[in-house]
């Protein structure tokens, strides 16, 4: 079983070929079917060997195909101060943007 661990958007993802992964939105304009290359490979493993980078592996990359761009469900936050009239006055919402990609080649 071949897999790799890539880093993008400040997070690490364990991926293998054929996986569909939801990652942080990347800079730039992408259309459906565009190729994305991840150069920050932290770990790579096949059936025999495991390679660990310090911090990243040189000459290793993971290729993916862009599927869609979207926004996650809304997350709301409330600010509450007990025994004052500042209570439920501040309510904020946030929707995180994401990319959905399919891993094509490790």
**Spatial CA neighbour of 57 closest among 1, 103, 4, 2:** 4
Mean pLDDT along residues 52-71? 90
Dihedrals phi, psi of 68, to nearest 5 degrees? -155, 160
Give 88's pLDDT tier (boundaries 50, 70, 90): low
CB of 23 within 8 A of CB of 97? no
Residue 5, strand partner residues: 14, 43
Mean pLDDT computed over 80-86: 74
Number of domains in the chain: 1
**78 belongs to a structural domain:** no
Does a structural domain hold residue 79? no
Residue 11 placed within a domain: yes
Which residue did the predictor score with more confidence, 45 or 91?
A: 45
The pLDDT-based confidence of 100 (bands split at 50, 70, 90) is very high
CA distances in angstroms from 100 to 3, 19, 61, 69, 92, listed in the order given:
18, 10, 18, 6, 26
Cα separation values, 80 from 71, 85, 88, Å? 27, 9, 6
Task: Please give the residue range of the domain that contains residue 24.
Answer: 3-71+98-105
| Adjacent-strand bridge partners of 13 | 6
């Amino acid at each position: 079983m071949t897999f790799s661990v890539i880093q993008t958007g400040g997070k690490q993802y364990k991926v293998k070929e054929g996986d569909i992964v939801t990652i942080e939105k990347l800079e730039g304009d992408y259309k459906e079917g565009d190729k994305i290359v991840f150069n920050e490979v932290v770990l790579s493993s096949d059936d025999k060997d495991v390679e660990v980078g310090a911090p990243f592996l040189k000459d290793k990359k993971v290729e993916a195909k862009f599927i869609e761009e979207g926004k996650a469900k809304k997350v709301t936050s409330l600010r509450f101060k007990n025994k004052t009239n500042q209570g439920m006055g501040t309510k904020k919402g946030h929707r995180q943007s994401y990319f959905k990609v399919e891993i094509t080649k490790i």
